C-alpha cells in the first residue's frame, strides 16, 4: 500500500536538495492491484452514474476525447496535515490525443494539458464538487482516459488545455459501452422511431451505462423529435424485467412530463399502449418500479384519463391492489376513479 505522506515527504526532501518540483512526475493514485474489490451492485451503480454523466455531456454539447496520459506531476511543495486535500490539484497532467468520439475541434493540438485535475477524486457527500466526474479514475502515466469536457470561449482558436470536465473514465472496459451509447444517440436523432427499440439494449453486458444515459437525457429535457416514441420507450423500459430499479424514479418523472404535456400531447393510441405498459410495471415484484408506475396510473385516474380495465387480469388486479394499499398506508390519499376500476370485473 502506498504511503501518501511518505511520498509527500520525499518530494519535499528532493525539492530541498534543489530539484525543481515541476520535474517530479509523480502519480500517487492507488495502483490497480491495490484497488478495493467492487461488488457487482456497486459496479452497476457506477456504470449507471457514468451513463448519467454522459447524458449531461450530450445535453451540454461537450467534446469527448480518448487519450493517453504522458505526464503526471503532483501538487507543488509539501502539504500540511491540516490542509484540505480537496482543494488541491495536480500541478501538471499532459494527455496525448488518440481519438475524438465527437467532432474534432479545428484548433485541437495533438497534446492537451489537463488543468484543475483534483488530487482527491470521487463523490463527496453533500456536494457537486470538481472531483465527482473523476470518480474511480486511476491517474498514472500510460493510462488511457476517456474525457468529456466543455470547451471555453477562449479555446476557439487554440485548444491546448481543458479544465471543465463532465465525465472522466479510466476503465477501458467501459469505453465500448460509451461508444455504443453515442452511436445510438446519433441514430435516434436521425430516426426518432428507433427509440422504440431502446429496451432491446437491456440485454447488453453494460446496459446500465445505456440506461443511465437514455433516462437522464430524457429526464433533463432532451428530445429526439418524437414525444410519442420517447414516451413508449420509457414505458417499455419500466415494464421490462431487466430494467434497473435505480432508474425507475427518473424514468417515471420523464414519462410523466411527456404524458401530461399540453404543448405536445400524446396520441390516444400511444396513451392506450402506455396504460398497458404501466399496468405491467405496476405489478412488478420490485417495489420501486411498481410504485413509480402506480404513481403515473393514479395521476391519470385523478385527471379522468385512465382506462386500465382492458389490461386487468385477475392476477394483475390482485397485485395492483396490494401495491395501492401499501401506497395508501404511507400517503393516506384515496383515488376514487382508480379504486372503481380496480373493483370492476368487466370493461
| Residue 11 phi, psi (nearest 5) | -60, -45
**Average confidence (pLDDT) over 291-302:** 96
- What gap in Å lies between CA 181 and CA 201, rounded to an integer? 10
Q: β-strands 144-149, 165-169: how paired?
A: antiparallel
Identify the pLDDT of residue 313.
94
User: If you compute the radius of gyration of the chain from its CA atoms, what whole number of angstroms results?
Assistant: 25
Q: Following CA atoms 3, 6, 7, 11 in sequence, which dihedral angle do they give, to the nearest 10 degrees? A: 170
- What gap in Å lies between CA 196 and CA 234, rounded to an integer? 9
What beta strand segments (E) does the chain contain? 63-73, 92-100, 108-114, 144-149, 159-162, 165-169
The pLDDT mean for the chain works out to: 84
Identify the pLDDT of residue 19.
38
When pLDDT is cut at 50, 70 and 90, the band that residue 37 belongs to is very low
Identify the pLDDT of residue 14.
39
pLDDT of 97 higher than 50 = yes
pLDDT higher at 269 or 4: 269
When pLDDT is cut at 50, 70 and 90, the band that residue 69 belongs to is very high
Contact at 8 Å (CB) between 146 and 169? yes
Angle between helices 207-219 and 227-239 (to 10 degrees): 140
- What gap in Å lies between CA 161 and CA 247, rounded to an integer? 35
pLDDT of 236 higher than 60 = yes
Pick the range with the lowest mean pLDDT from 84-93, 124-133, 269-278, 328-337.
124-133
Contact at 8 Å (CB) between 73 and 26? yes
- What gap in Å lies between CA 244 and CA 252, rounded to an integer? 13
- What gap in Å lies between CA 301 and CA 299, rounded to an integer? 5
Domain spans in the chain, listed from the N-terminal domain onward: 4-170, 176-343
Contact at 8 Å (CB) between 95 and 112? yes
When pLDDT is cut at 50, 70 and 90, the band that residue 125 belongs to is low
Contact at 8 Å (CB) between 280 and 239? yes
In angstroms, the Cα distances linking 119 to 29, 87, 165 are: 9, 8, 14
- What gap in Å lies between CA 132 and CA 121, rounded to an integer? 6
- What gap in Å lies between CA 332 and CA 89, rounded to an integer? 51
Identify the pLDDT of residue 308.
96
When pLDDT is cut at 50, 70 and 90, the band that residue 204 belongs to is confident
**Average confidence (pLDDT) over 304-308:** 96
When pLDDT is cut at 50, 70 and 90, the band that residue 10 belongs to is very low
Look up residue 341 and give its three cell numbers: 376500476
**Average confidence (pLDDT) over 27-31:** 35
pLDDT of 326 higher than 80 = yes
- Determine how many CB atoms are found less than 10 A away from the CB of residue 273: 17
Question: What residues have CB less than 8 Å from 292, skipping those under 6 apart?
Answer: 238, 248, 249, 251, 252, 281
Amino acid at each position: 500500500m502506498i504511503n501518501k505522506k511518505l511520498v509527500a515527504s520525499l518530494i519535499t526532501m528532493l525539492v530541498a536538495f534543489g530539484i525543481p518540483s515541476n520535474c517530479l512526475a509523480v502519480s500517487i493514485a492507488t495502483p490497480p492491484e491495490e484497488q478495493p474489490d467492487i461488488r457487482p451492485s456497486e459496479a452497476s451503480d457506477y456504470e449507471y452514474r457514468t451513463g448519467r454523466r454522459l447524458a449531461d455531456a450530450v445535453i451540454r454539447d461537450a467534446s469527448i476525447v480518448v487519450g493517453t496520459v504522458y505526464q503526471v506531476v503532483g501538487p507543488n511543495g509539501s502539504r500540511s496535515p491540516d490542509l484540505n486535500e480537496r482543494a488541491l490539484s495536480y500541478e501538471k497532467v499532459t494527455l496525448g490525443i488518440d481519438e475524438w468520439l465527437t467532432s474534432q475541434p479545428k484548433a485541437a493540438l495533438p497534446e492537451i494539458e489537463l488543468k484543475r485535475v483534483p488530487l482527491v477524486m470521487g463523490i463527496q457527500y453533500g456536494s457537486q464538487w470538481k472531483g465527482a466526474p473523476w470518480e474511480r479514475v486511476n491517474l498514472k502515466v500510460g493510462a488511457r482516459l476517456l474525457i468529456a469536457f466543455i470547451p471555453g470561449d477562449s479555446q476557439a482558436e487554440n485548444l491546448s488545455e481543458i479544465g471543465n470536465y463532465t465525465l472522466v473514465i479510466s476503465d477501458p472496459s467501459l469505453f465500448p459501452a460509451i461508444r455504443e451509447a453515442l452511436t445510438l444517440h446519433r441514430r435516434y436523432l436521425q430516426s426518432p422511431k428507433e427509440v422504440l427499440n431502446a429496451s432491446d439494449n437491456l440485454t447488453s453486458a453494460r446496459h446500465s451505462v445505456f440506461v443511465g444515459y437514455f433516462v437522464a437525457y430524457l429526464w433533463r429535457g432532451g428530445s429526439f423529435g418524437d414525444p410519442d416514441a420517447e414516451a413508449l420507450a420509457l414505458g417499455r423500459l419500466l415494464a421490462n424485467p431487466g430494467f434497473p430499479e435505480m432508474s425507475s424514479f427518473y424514468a417515471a418523472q420523464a414519462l410523466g412530463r411527456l404524458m401530461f404535456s399540453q404543448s405536445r400531447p400524446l396520441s390516444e393510441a400511444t396513451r392506450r399502449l402506455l396504460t398497458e405498459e404501466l399496468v405491467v410495471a405496476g405489478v412488478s415484484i420490485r417495489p420501486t418500479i411498481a410504485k413509480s408506475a402506480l404513481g403515473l396510473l393514479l395521476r391519470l385516474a385523478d385527471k379522468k384519463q385512465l382506462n386500465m380495465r382492458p389490461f386487468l387480469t385477475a392476477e394483475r388486479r390482485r397485485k395492483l391492489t396490494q401495491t395501492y394499499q401499501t401506497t395508501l398506508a404511507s400517503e393516506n390519499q384515496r383515488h376514487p376513479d382508480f379504486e372503481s376500476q380496480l373493483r370492476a370485473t368487466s370493461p
